[in-house]
Every structure is written in C-alpha cells, then in structure tokens.
Amino acid sequence: MEIDDSAVARWLEPLAPGRGDIAEVFAETRRKTIVEWRDGEPGDARVSIEAGVSARQRRGGQERLAFVSGSGEAAIREAVRVLQASARKSVLPSRPAPAPPDHAPPSSVERWVRRLEPMLVRHVPRHRFRWSHEDISRHVVPFGSSASTSTRRLFSLEGSFTAASRRGDETRNFSFHAPEADATADELRQALTAAAAARERTVPFGDGTADVLFSGATAAVLFHEILSHALEADAGETPLSRLASARISVPDLEVRDDPTRLDLFGGYERDDEGTRPRMVRLLDAGRLAASLTDRAHADARGSSGHGRRAGPADAPLPRGSNTVVSAGAATSEELIRRLGNGLWIEEIGSGTVELSSGRFRLAFPRGRRVRRGRFADEIGAGFLAGEILPALSAVEPMIGRDVRACRSLGWCSRAGQVVPVGGEAPDVIVRRLSVRDR
C-alpha cells in the first residue's frame, strides 16, 4: 500500500479540530485461501483478494465511518470525502483511478497444501475439514500521530473426522488456529494425533452442579468469556462494574490480555487504530486490575492498544486478544487429587456470555468424571454454566504449573464483528459450576 501519509493527515486535520477528537484512515488488503478437504482429497478451493479503505471521525459521542472498496489514494479520497460532506466541511475533489497493484508477500499456500494432504490422511483419514490461510496487511493513518503498518498470517483448520472408539466409529470435532510459524506443522500434527486417540464409551454426567478441572488450556476460554469480555471498556454495566481493585478471586490467580504474544492467534504488532499494544493485567493476584481500551475509551494512560476491527468496513471496538493465565505450582496429579470428585474438561467447543446478567455458558464435546481423585467414566457432550462473580470466587487456590497454548480458541464474534483471539493457560479448578448433558 503506497499512500502519501502526510497528505492523508492534512485531509483529516479539519475533521479533528478539538482535543480528544479522532480522525483516521484505515486501509486493509487481505488474501485468503480456503480449501475444503474430504477424506484426504481436496474439494472446493477458493482464493479471495480484497482491499478496502475506511475513514473515521469521532467527536464526543458522535462517530462517523465511511467505507469504500478498493485501495490507494483514490479510494482514501472517496472515504474522506464522505466524512467531509457529512461534517459540512469543504470536500476534496474526486479523482477516480485504477487500483494500484498489491505488493503481496510470497505465498506459502502451495507448500501447505502439499504438507497437509499426507498429514490428514495419516492421522485422521476420514474427515471433512476446511483449511484457511490468510495474509492480512493493515495500514493506519491517524491524525496527530504517526502512521503504522502491520501484517499477520493466520492458519486455521476446522471440521470433523471419524475416529475409532470402543463403542465403534464416532464423529469428533476439531479446530486448530495458529499464526503461521515454523513450528505450526508439528504442533498441528501433535494436535491431530491427540484428537484421534482411542477413547472409552461415554456416559451422561447428569444435570446438576460439579467441581470442574479445566485442563488442556481450556481455562483460557473460560477467562476469555468471563473476564476479557466483561473488561472491554465499552461493555456497559456488568457484574464487574464498580468493583475496581476489589479482590474477586484467589490471590494465586493472575489473568492478562496480551496482544504482544505474536505466537498466539490473537496477537498483533499494532492495533487497528495504529496504537502499539501493551499487555493488560485483568486480574492481578485475584484483584480486578484494568480494562481493555481503544482510543475512544482511553484512560489517562491512553489506549491499551485493543481497538480492533473485523475489517475496514467496521469501526474499531475495544476487544480482547490473547487471554493468558499465569502458571502456578501444582502438577496435574496434584490437581486431580485436589478436585476429588468432579469433572475434568480438556476441550471446549464454544462459549458465550451475557454481560448484563453475568451468565456464561461453555459447550464441551466430552469430559472425564473424576472420583476420589482418580479418572473414572468418559463423559459425553454437555454444557458448563455459571455466573461471572460466583465462578471467579470459586477458583481453587491451586493452579497448574504447565501452561499450554489453547489452539482451539480462534475466532470471537461480538456485535457481528469477528476477530482472531487466542490464549494460553495452566490447569485451573473452579468449584460448583452447573453441568448439563446435551
């Protein structure tokens, strides 16, 4: 994207006359490849190359956003013209021009396609997967500060496969989301191997309450729902409102939102307002610490760098990125013994939270009953449910020492905007959650 940033900043100047006003241009190019795989054979394949530009103005409680498909100066001009006209400022002349060519980095798609086929055939031969690979480049020109460019390359494999179990064939869901890196292939191979492992016949757990051990980094999904969302600066009234600095959980628990972790799916070098992000402690030694802010909701320290957009057609919102739970000192065996009787969960399929009431729900595809500190029956699919404050206060003061990345956590939707998120966590026990079979 070759843009004369200083010229764009001059165009934006009249739109941000006051202190605290925001005027910016956001430009994105995105190259996305999707291949559907079925039983080792590629099915439908598609490639999408898109560019879009938006201009945004925010003054007090009023915000205006203009989006135009395309790239380059002509598209930026069109977007800025809309804002100027709506703000009753003098309007730039329109200068239509063909879209400039993209300078796309060399693609690794073909290499991935060659690697994936034998990997899927070997580990999960009967499957229906969708593999997607995205190259995203974003450029932000904010009035009043310097322009920035950031790039991300994201890899996702989602779908289901048929696995053997002691009760015969069964369909299992699988999802893996990671930023592209040298280790991604090995990590995927390990995840597929673990997912395809033989399992026992499942039995229902029975509706009621149970103590739950969140294993396999699934605690990252729990805290993403009940802490990260609740501490987004525009969340409105939630059970955590008016509890600043209050101790709401055990001192052993520390949860952070860390976009600087580029090894996790939700990481980035710059947020979608051009701010360099910083790690935010959500829960510090069990105390409620800070919230996630964008420029519009910034406190005295300024934006925490959590202004995120699904794409150029959307305005930025304060959103979580990577939910990171600090390690404790307990081993897995100690945690199982501490759980005593309860439910051990290693996978979570999806999660939702209603912030006003604080109720959350996590869907798990399977689990394991624990009796007297030992693994017992395999449990079939069900839901975990609870409320934010009771769940946080019911965290056991014994946290696992081994931290793992949660690769099943990938895309988070809020108000129709879907952004990549990730996390990592050790094993965590939460007492007295509602459990329901599906």
Binding site for other proteins (CB under 8 A): 31, 33, 35, 38, 41-52, 61-70, 78, 81-82, 85-86, 91, 94, 98-99, 101-102, 107, 109-110, 113, 117, 236-237, 313, 315, 352, 354-357, 361, 438
- CB nearer to other proteins: give 74 or 279: 74
Q: How far is the CB of 333 from other proteins (least distance, A)?
A: 36
Q: Where does 60-126 show beta strands of DSSP type E?
A: 62-69
- CB nearer to other proteins: give 66 or 233: 66
- CB nearer to other proteins: give 64 or 199: 64
CA distance 36 to 360: 32
Q: How far is the CB of 339 from other proteins (least distance, A)?
A: 28
> Do you know the residue count of the chain?
438
- CB nearer to other proteins: give 190 or 352: 352
Q: How far is the CB of 288 from other proteins (least distance, A)?
A: 19
Q: Rounded to the nearest 5°, which phi and psi values hold at 221?
A: -70, -45
Q: How far is the CB of 61 from other proteins (least distance, A)?
A: 4
Token readout for 21 is 């006003």
CA dist list (Å): 258 to 213, 217, 261: 24, 16, 6
- CB nearer to other proteins: give 114 or 372: 114
Segment (H or E) for 11: helix 5-12
Q: How far is the CB of 285 from other proteins (least distance, A)?
A: 27
- Helix, coil or strand: residue 235: coil
Q: How far is the CB of 276 from other proteins (least distance, A)?
A: 26
Q: How far is the CB of 201 from other proteins (least distance, A)?
A: 17
Q: Are 104 and 32 in contact (CB under 8 A)?
A: no
Bridge partners of 158, per DSSP, are 130, 175
Q: How far is the CB of 59 from other proteins (least distance, A)?
A: 11
- CB nearer to other proteins: give 5 or 102: 102
Bridge partners of 318, per DSSP, are 307
What does the DSSP assignment read for 357-410? TTEEEEEES-EEEEETTEEEEEE-SEEEEEEHHHHHHTB-S--BS--EE-TT--
CA dist list (Å): 370 to 201, 278, 330: 15, 39, 17
Strands 350-354 and 168-179: unpaired
- CB nearer to other proteins: give 361 or 432: 361
- CB nearer to other proteins: give 229 or 407: 229
Q: How far is the CB of 217 from other proteins (least distance, A)?
A: 25
- CB nearer to other proteins: give 44 or 299: 44
The interaxial angle of helices 72-86 and 5-12, nearest 10 deg, is 10
Q: Are 276 and 305 in contact (CB under 8 A)?
A: yes
CA distance 105 to 388: 43
Q: How far is the CB of 183 from other proteins (least distance, A)?
A: 24
CA distance 417 to 438: 28
DSSP summary character for residue 14: G
CA distance 94 to 189: 52
Segment (H or E) for 8: helix 5-12
- CB nearer to other proteins: give 332 or 393: 393
Bridge partners of 317, per DSSP, are 308
| Helix locations, 158-314, DSSP H | 184-195, 219-223
